């Protein structure tokens, strides 16, 4: 099912919520690149945390982590950070009210360094605190389900779990520390989600740059962003399958190290410096569909990437190869696999219209795009995936 040739259009992220003056949109002629100051990864990396925090000359660490992560890692964190650490229980949703609550607690504790420990929402909540209380930020992901750890982006949701706004720190995290023994011990579904999130970057960066879109620094994507995105994709296709086998055994190996570097570091640098397109735009519409809204971010992005490939006019052979890879990894190929229980055609209409109304980079595509074309691509993806999976 090869689609028609594509033409050029342009788009940019029109949201400028809580963007400091120094980080607002740059002139269109400028290119911009950003990253964490330091990235550490490997089994046992958590043992380096105390030394890293000491380099900042701070004495009152403020640790944001949910109850599950604290039960798993608090003893190790206390051993690394010493008696001065204050632990704050993340409530589960990165909402404006939750950020305000944690920021007030950090002020009361006299915190002088923030640690965001856990999954993407806990990390984003810690970033939100840092926006209100400027101080060093160390990010310690406990799962590799998406690429949020390296970025300065804070995705804020309503209390009923709908995406509300995007805030931005003035700089990226100071340090990102990834203990792959911790990552490998987490449920494999999170690892698969990170693969889905990372897989899209090669294609989204290409569409953003090709359509004249902007990156998350409000500037043109530099060439290195595409190089990083391409490398991310190659690593995923080469290492993700054996890495997933190792994670299922809870035994990190060289494949796990390569894959985690791709899903956290390479993917994070690629999206923030290269920009996004349809695959991530569709998460806006997916967030309002019952059942589907409960899927992990990377699962939603992986499905959205299938829709983007249809809009790009990818060949039957390309789509067949990708769908086979999805099947081996366990990524969703249909809305039903994402959790949909209702009518897929009605869901396609809802997703397309809401995405078109709310996604800031939905037009970052070098093909003609409108709500009708988007809906048609969603329906075509369902038909194609079903055909590819049917017995001969």
Q: How confident is the model at residue 26 (pLDDT cuts 50, 70, 90)?
A: low
Considering its fold, how many domains does the chain have in total?
Answer: 2
Q: What is the pTM of this model?
A: 0.90
Q: Which CATH number covers residue 333? A: 1.20.1090.10
**Rounded CA gap, 377 and 245, in Å?**
33
Is 385 found in the same domain as 256? Answer: yes
Is 175 found in the same domain as 193? Answer: no
**Spatial CA neighbour of 48 closest among 181, 186, 187:** 181
Is 271 found in the same domain as 379? Answer: yes
What is the Cα 287 distance to its own chain's centre?
A: 15
Per-residue pLDDT tens digits for 53-82: 999 999 999 999 999 999 999 999 999 999
Per-residue pLDDT tens digits for 145-186: 999 999 999 999 988 877 788 999 999 999 999 999 999 999
CA distances from 185 to 41, 65, 208 (A): 15, 17, 35
Q: Region 27-48: what's the mean pLDDT?
A: 93
Name the DSSP class of 247: H
**Rounded CA gap, 383 and 381, in Å?**
5
Q: Which CATH number covers residue 109? A: 3.40.50.1970
164: exposed, middle or buried (Cβ count in 10 Å: 0-12, 13-18, 19+): middle
Q: DSSP H helical segments within 85-222, as ranges?
A: 96-109, 120-132, 180-185, 188-199, 201-210
């Amino acid at each position: 099912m090869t689609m028609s040739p594509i033409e050029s259009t342009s788009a940019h992220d029109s949201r400028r919520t809580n963007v400091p003056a120094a980080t607002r949109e740059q002139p269109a002629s400028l290119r911009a690149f950003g990253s964490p100051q330091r990235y550490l990864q490997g089994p046992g990396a958590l043992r380096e945390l105390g030394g890293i925090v000491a380099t900042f000359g701070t004495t009152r660490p403020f640790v944001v982590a949910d109850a599950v992560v604290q039960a798993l890692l608090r003893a190790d964190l206390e051993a690394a950070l010493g008696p001065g650490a204050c632990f704050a229980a993340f409530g589960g949703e990165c909402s404006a009210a939750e950020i305000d609550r944690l920021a007030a607690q950090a002020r009361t504790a006299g915190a002088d360094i923030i640690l965001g420990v856990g999954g993407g929402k806990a990390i984003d909540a810690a970033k939100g605190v840092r926006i209100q209380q400027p101080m060093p930020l160390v990010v310690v992901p406990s799962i590799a389900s998406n690429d949020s750890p390296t970025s300065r982006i804070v995705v804020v949701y309503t209390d009923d779990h709908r995406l509300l706004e995007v805030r931005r720190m003035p700089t990226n995290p100071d340090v990102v520390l990834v203990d792959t023994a911790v990552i490998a011990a987490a449920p494999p579904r999170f690892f698969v989600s990170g693969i889905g999130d990372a897989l899209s970057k090669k294609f989204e960066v290409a569409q953003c740059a090709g359509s004249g879109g902007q990156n998350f620094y409000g500037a043109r994507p530099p060439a290195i962003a595409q190089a990083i995105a391409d490398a991310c994709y190659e690593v995923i296709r080469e290492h993700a399958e054996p890495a997933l086998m190792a994670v299922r055994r809870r035994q990190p190996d060289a494949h796990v190290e390569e894959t985690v570097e791709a899903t956290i570091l390479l993917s994070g640098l690629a999206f923030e410096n290269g920009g996004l397109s349809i695959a991530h735009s569709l998460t806006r519409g997916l967030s309002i569909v019952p059942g589907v809204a409960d899927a992990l971010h990377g699962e939603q992005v992986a499905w959205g990437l299938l829709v983007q490939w249809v809009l790009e006019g990818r060949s039957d052979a390309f789509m067949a190869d990708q769908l086979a890879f999805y099947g081996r990894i366990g990524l969703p190929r249909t809305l039903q696999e994402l959790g949909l229980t209702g009518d897929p055609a009605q869901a396609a209409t809802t997703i397309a219209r809401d995405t078109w109304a709310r996604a800031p980079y939905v037009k970052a595509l070098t093909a003609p795009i409108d709500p009708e074309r988007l809906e048609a691509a969603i329906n075509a993806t369902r038909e194609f995936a079903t055909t590819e999976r049917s017995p001969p």
